[in-house]
Amino acid sequence: MAFDRLIENIVKMQNPTVAGLDPKLDYVPESIKTKCFEKYGKTLEGAAAALFEFNKALIDALYDIVPAVKPQAAYYEMYGWQGVKALCDTIAYAKSKGMFVITDGKRNDIGTTMEAYATAHLGHTDVAGESIDAFGADALTVNGYLGTDGIKPLAKICDSDDKGIFVLVKTSNPSSGELQDMKLETNESVYEHMGKMCEGWGEDLMGKHGYSAVGAVVGATYPEQLGEMRAKLPHTFFLVPGYGAQGGGADDVKNAFDENGLGAIINSSRGIMCAWKKQGLTEEDFAVAARKEAERMRDEIVGCIGKIKLG
């Protein structure tokens, strides 16, 4: 199962974190932008080339210490098809460096359309008998609120193609409680019920390290719920956004882990991409600063949870 590969990367690097690649043109240093605009003009193509250069430098700075990257699709779509190409190129580059790639797309729809999303992001597209990877990520974030028929096509591809999904359970944003904290007739909350559905969807997709291919997104900004979910969902691997720029710290995420220091991967996007700002460096030093911040984040979290080991 895909999360076995992720877990093995985490244990090898002793690092349960993922670097978010949410590139905006504002974050890209002038030197890269100038080079790309000279080549392609101030066009979507020029912008997308700059994003890819920026991402490549971040990946080069991180791939030997950070096990995974999480490109957020919105930041690529914002630059049109040229941006989407930069997403494809980023995924391919990160994979060529041995990183586990989680596309943050939060896709959801009815079963037939989810089958298309699953094929696009995780499977192989059939082109007149030729089977081709469209995006080729290892895992995709999805919204499970359309129910089981929306998840089934993804589960099928997780099984056949060694992929994983992270289903939104308790998101990190300030308004997440408006719906997700509501109590059902059974007195459980909506997020708790969604978490249980993830355990159910993952039942036939168990990996060798105790976690299924159906993971959950649970925000670092809700540490109590994170601990509650860890206790209630023993086979569900967590993707935990909200560390860094959204205010979460190591103390907030420590409850996401099991007794072996496994069970979760903590994301930081702006905190890593824009680390130079906090380190008193120039934007040209963004990659050095990103590595320093990734090391600091790793050490802070591992300092709280201890050595990470296979059970």
Does 17 engage in binding with ligand LLZGTKA7 (CB under 6 A)?
Answer: no
CA-wise closest residue to 88 among 60, 142, 51, 131: 51
Does 271 engage in binding with ligand LLZGTKA7 (CB under 6 A)?
Answer: yes
Looking at beta carbons, which residue is closest to ligand LLZGTKA7?
A: 171
Q: Give CA–CA dist 232/257, Å, rounded.
A: 12
Q: Report in angstroms how near the CB of residue 206 gets to ligand LLZGTKA7 at its nearest.
A: 25
**Contacts with ligand LLZGTKA7 in 108-167 (CB under 6 A)?**
none
Rank residues 11 and 198 by Cβ distance to ligand LLZGTKA7 and give the closer one.
Answer: 198
Helices in the chain by DSSP H: which ranges? 2-13, 30-40, 44-62, 74-77, 80-96, 111-121, 148-161, 177-180, 190-201, 223-232, 250-253, 270-273, 275-278, 286-305
Does 46 engage in binding with ligand LLZGTKA7 (CB under 6 A)?
Answer: no
Total residue count of the chain as it appears in this document: 311
Cα separations in angstroms, 98 against 15, 76, 197, 251: 15, 22, 31, 29
Of the candidates 244, 255, 286, 297, which one interacts with ligand LLZGTKA7 according to CB under 6 A? 244
Q: Report in angstroms how near the CB of residue 156 gets to ligand LLZGTKA7 at its nearest.
A: 24
Does 90 engage in binding with ligand LLZGTKA7 (CB under 6 A)?
Answer: no
Tell me the per-residue interface mask from 69 to 88 with ligand LLZGTKA7, x by CB under 6 A, - otherwise: ---x----------------
The answer to whether 137 and 102 have CB atoms below 8 angstroms apart is: yes
Does 103 engage in binding with ligand LLZGTKA7 (CB under 6 A)?
Answer: no
Does 246 engage in binding with ligand LLZGTKA7 (CB under 6 A)?
Answer: yes
The answer to whether 286 and 26 have CB atoms below 8 angstroms apart is: no
Interface residue list for ligand LLZGTKA7 (CB under 6 A): 20, 22, 72, 104, 171-173, 217, 219, 241-242, 244-246, 267-271
